[in-house]
Amino acid sequence: MDKLLIEGGVPVSGEVQISGNKNAVLPMIAACLLTDEEVILDNVPDIVDLRVMLEIASMLGVENSFENNRLTLRAKDIKTNALSREVCSKVRASILFAGPLAVRAGSAELWPPGGDVIGRRRLDAHFYGLRSLGLEVELDGIYKFTCKKRPKGRELFLDEASVTATEHIMTVAVLAEGETIIRNAAAEPHVVDLAELLIKMGALITGLGSNTITITGVEKLHGTEHRVVSDHTEAASFIALGAATGGSLTLRGTQPRHYWMARRVFERLGIVFRLDPDSIYLPAEQELRVKPDFGGYTPVISDGPWPQFPSDMMSCAIVAATQAEGSVMFFEKMFESRLYFVDRLISMGANAIVCDPHRVVITGRSQLRAQSLSSPDIRAGMAMIIAAACAKGQSEISNCRMISRGYENITNKLQKIGIRLIES
């Protein structure tokens, strides 16, 4: 999929099966290096980033098969400890192979990882954590990681609650000697899901869902089978799409606790939905209206580490706000380039003031008009789809491969709920 033509102005309706969590399954593939036994993952999303991670795994010698969202991995023998610049540049999650590969093979060589261009994305917490556990880290062009002896557990305090750093440190600490305590750890659902896989493999981990994770190292991990948790960011994207078009949706495969903060944020835009044990119901024809803060002040929607509103949900929420009466400020604290896509909304007729790289004020309701657009990153690309679905006329969205990096079967899901589109 490279280009989409979308005819806007039609409320969506129907059901969407939410796919497995992208940010859970990618580190799980790297974690399979920790055992020479078979690891089976179910509910795996068929997305571009997954295929890249499997390409890397295959280079390392990991046997794998993927069919009907079921992924089988076995790292029986490691063929190489070095990854090419080309493959590392395709996906940010490539860095997650460093620790497990070094522990398994004694050393690992990687190039700086790629990924979305949404601002500076520090790796300092990764290097701090791996060095603290006893790995030698050299960062001169090629990243070199050396593990001369068994890692040793210790107490760590991360200077940011980094998701990938927390995941990376966990995958080394599970085989370290003694106890590792990660303070200011990330607590996102995908971090918890990775930990639950590791526990099934024989790891000893406590504190899941909190900002203090304790890991007692074991000498060996074994194979297992695990079902990947559903993707809460995908679900929030469809909530924004349904509400912005005035449609009704039922989202299947969700877990209520993953949406408590999202519900509070969407309520500020006048969007209400029901959280059931394994689904979300969004009623049709809601009157979207921004709810001012007490005293009549303009509300601020900001992102932050879990359980705050996730940065990945900001782009779609901003588009939904263009269809709500009233003014609201969005404060993107985590990435300085996340809001650059708002210029495209302005070209479609959105009433938006970009205050600085981190803040934008949206005043609605705006009648968006069709426009030729380009997807700059995964989440902004989905936001462009929502904007096109609200717009009058036919919009063209290019660089749609970017969207397929994070959303499984997106065109089929959109067509199933009534979006009129042509794929090319």
Catalytic residue IDs: 116
- C-alpha 380/C-alpha 383 separation (Å) is 5
- Three-state DSSP string of the chain: CCEEEEECCCCCEEEEECCECHHHHHHHHHHHHHCCCEEEEECCCCCHHHHHHHHHHHHHCCEEEEECCEEEEECCCCCCCECCHHHHCCCHHHHHHHHHHHHHHCEEEECCCCCCCCCCCCCHHHHHHHHHCCCEEEEECEEEEECCCCCECCEEECCCCCHHHHHHHHHHHCCCECEEEEECCCCCHHHHHHHHHHHHCCCEEECCCCCEEEEECCCCCCCEEEECCECHHHHHHHHHHHHHHCCEEEEECCCHHHHHHHHHHHHHCCCCCEEECCEEEECCCCCCECCCECCCECCEEECCCCCCCCHHHHHHHHHHHCCCEEEEEEECCCCCCHHHHHHHHHHCCCEEEEEECCEEEEEECCCCECCEEECCCHHHHHHHHHHHHHCECEEEEECCHHHHCCCCCHHHHHHHCCCEEEEC
- C-alpha 339/C-alpha 52 separation (Å) is 27
Burial of residue 317, with CB atoms counted within 10 A of its CB: 0-12 exposed, 13-18 middle, 19 or more buried: buried
- C-alpha 213/C-alpha 206 separation (Å) is 6
Smallest CA-to-CA distance from 373 within 354, 393, 359 is with 393
Q: At what angle do helices 189-200 and 22-31 cross, to 10 degrees?
A: 30
For residue 12, give both structure tokens: 């969506």
- C-alpha 3/C-alpha 8 separation (Å) is 16
